[in-house]
């Protein structure tokens, strides 16, 4: 069977070159005589894989020296709790709620302290990024949390709030490594976290980038495994890390560097998004659910306006090698997640099929 175009929001596709290299090294890695999956995380050979992954992500994201890079487990959802458990001192935080995951992060933080909801776009089904009123910011907050790209609803921040001395924290899961901009400048943040299963690698790895001054003693009831201090002091190896997932992430980083880095993939991503949005804006059948500059270049959401026709489209698309195009169960419609590994050919195939479907379903 030929490979399909996988538009899943995550886990999603991986670069073919990465899969082929992993295939070649699956049984025996280098001169180790074993698979990476069988390798001790304390071995010299695995330490080279780990340090190689860290060096590459530091280079790709221009991570300053005063930030630690951690490869953890538990996904972004564990970070929803880990952030307040470690950063709470006054036990107060500001949150902007721009989608389901931003809301979950806010709700988790409420378990450990006081949350100030600075703004929310829930009133319009999260189809925009709200303007922020600085007068509503809490100057005594331990941190200010945003979700940079909205995976489910297809929005993204184009500018960051000025939080002054309050550290800015972001969930960057669905647009990390996709563009070079103010919003992806590591130095603007106190802490960045991202689940791997979109632009980094397979599910099971969580990347955390945290400024050194924020690595302090957590709340006294924080589990040891959820302490940034413990994880940083142990080089992400307090317990056995997700070794194979980190190895695949390293291969993805190598692939991205080979393309020319993040600025190179940004040009490709913007071309892909422009092609799809241009069709949607001129279609008589399909309509994008997000308008204006809040549109994500990673997750494009759209509908026909007829739920039955949406279902028909999803089913016929799958028969044409275009899979996982169905929108999130909470909103319906369609969603094309066009992360870094999605080739331009995948967008061309999708648009071509949409044109055909539109003609046949006038």
Report the sign of the C-alpha dihedral through residues 276, 281, 283, 287, in that order: positive
Residue 109 has pLDDT above 90, yes or no: yes
Task: For residues 34 and 155, state if they share a domain.
Answer: yes
Which residue, chain included where needed, has tokens 């695995």?
46
Mean pLDDT of 116-131: 95
Here the CATH number for the domain that contains residue 202 is: 3.40.640.10
Same-domain status, 356 and 219:
no
Q: How distant is the alpha carbon of residue 228 from its chain centre? A: 20
pLDDT in tens, 274-300: 999 999 999 999 999 998 899 999 999
Q: Which residue has the tokens 């489209």?
A: 313
Is it the case that residue 331 has pLDDT exceeding 90?
A: no
Q: Is the pTM of this model over 0.95?
A: yes
Q: Give the separation between CA 125 and CA 127, rounded to whole angstroms.
A: 6
Same domain, 346 and 222: no
**Shared-domain flag, residues 173 and 301:** no
My answer on whether 190 and 293 are in the same domain is no
Query: Can you read off the two tokens belonging to residue 164?
Result: 């002054």
And the tokens for 270? Answer: 């913007």
Question: What range does the domain containing 109 cover?
Answer: 16-259
- Report d(CA 227, CA 218) in Å as an integer: 6
The CATH number of the domain holding residue 350 is 3.90.1150.10
Q: Which of 53, 55, 104 shows the shortest CA–CA distance to 79?
A: 104
Residue 1 placed within a domain: no
- Reported as type and span, the H/E element at residue 146 is strand 143-147
Q: Is the pLDDT of residue 336 over 80?
A: yes
pLDDT (tens digit per residue) in 6-40? 999 999 999 999 999 999 999 999 999 999 999 99
Domain identity same for 281 and 251: no
350 in the same domain as 223: no
Are residues 275 and 244 located together in one domain of the fold?
A: no
């Amino acid at each position: 069977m030929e490979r399909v175009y996988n538009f899943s929001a995550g886990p999603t596709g991986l670069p073919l070159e990465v899969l082929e290299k992993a295939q070649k090294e699956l049984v025996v890695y280098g001169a180790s005589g074993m698979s990476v999956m069988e390798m001790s995380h304390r071995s010299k050979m695995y330490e080279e894989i780990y340090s190689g992954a860290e060096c590459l992500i530091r280079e790709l994201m221009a991570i300053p020296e005063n930030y630690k890079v951690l490869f953890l487990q538990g996904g972004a959802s564990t970070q929803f709790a880990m952030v307040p458990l470690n950063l709470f001192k006054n036990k107060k935080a500001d949150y902007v709620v721009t989608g389901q995951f931003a809301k979950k992060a806010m709700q988790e933080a409420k378990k450990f302290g006081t949350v100030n909801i600075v703004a929310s776009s829930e009133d319009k089904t999260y189809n925009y990024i709200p303007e922020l009123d600085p007068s509503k910011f809490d100057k005594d907050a331990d941190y200010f949390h945003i979700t940079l790209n909205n995976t489910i609803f297809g929005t993204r921040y184009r500018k960051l709030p000025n939080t002054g001395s309050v550290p800015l924290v972001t969930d960057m899961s669905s647009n990390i490594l996709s563009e070079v901009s103010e919003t992806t400048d590591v130095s603007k943040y106190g802490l960045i976290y991202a689940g791997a299963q979109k632009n980094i690698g397979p599910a099971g790895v969580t990347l955390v980038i945290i400024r050194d001054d924020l690595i302090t003693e957590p709340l006294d009831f924080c589990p040891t495994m959820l302490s940034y201090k413990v994880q940083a002091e142990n080089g992400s190896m307090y317990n056995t890390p997700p070794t194979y997932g980190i190895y695949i992430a390293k291969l993805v980083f190598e692939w991205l560097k080979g393309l020319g880095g993040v600025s190179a993939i940004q040009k490709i991503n913007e071309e892909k998004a422009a092609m799809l949005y241009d069709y949607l804006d001129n279609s008589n059948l399909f309509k994008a659910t997000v308008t204006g500059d809040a549109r994500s270049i990673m997750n494009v959401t759209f509908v026909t306006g007829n739920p039955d026709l949406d279902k028909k489209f999803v089913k016929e698309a799958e028969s044409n090698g275009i899979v996982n195009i169905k929108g999130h169960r909470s909103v319906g419609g369609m969603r094309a997640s066009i992360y870094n590994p999605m080739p331009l050919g995948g967008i061309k195939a999708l648009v071509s099929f949409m044109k055909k479907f539109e003609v046949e379903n006038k």
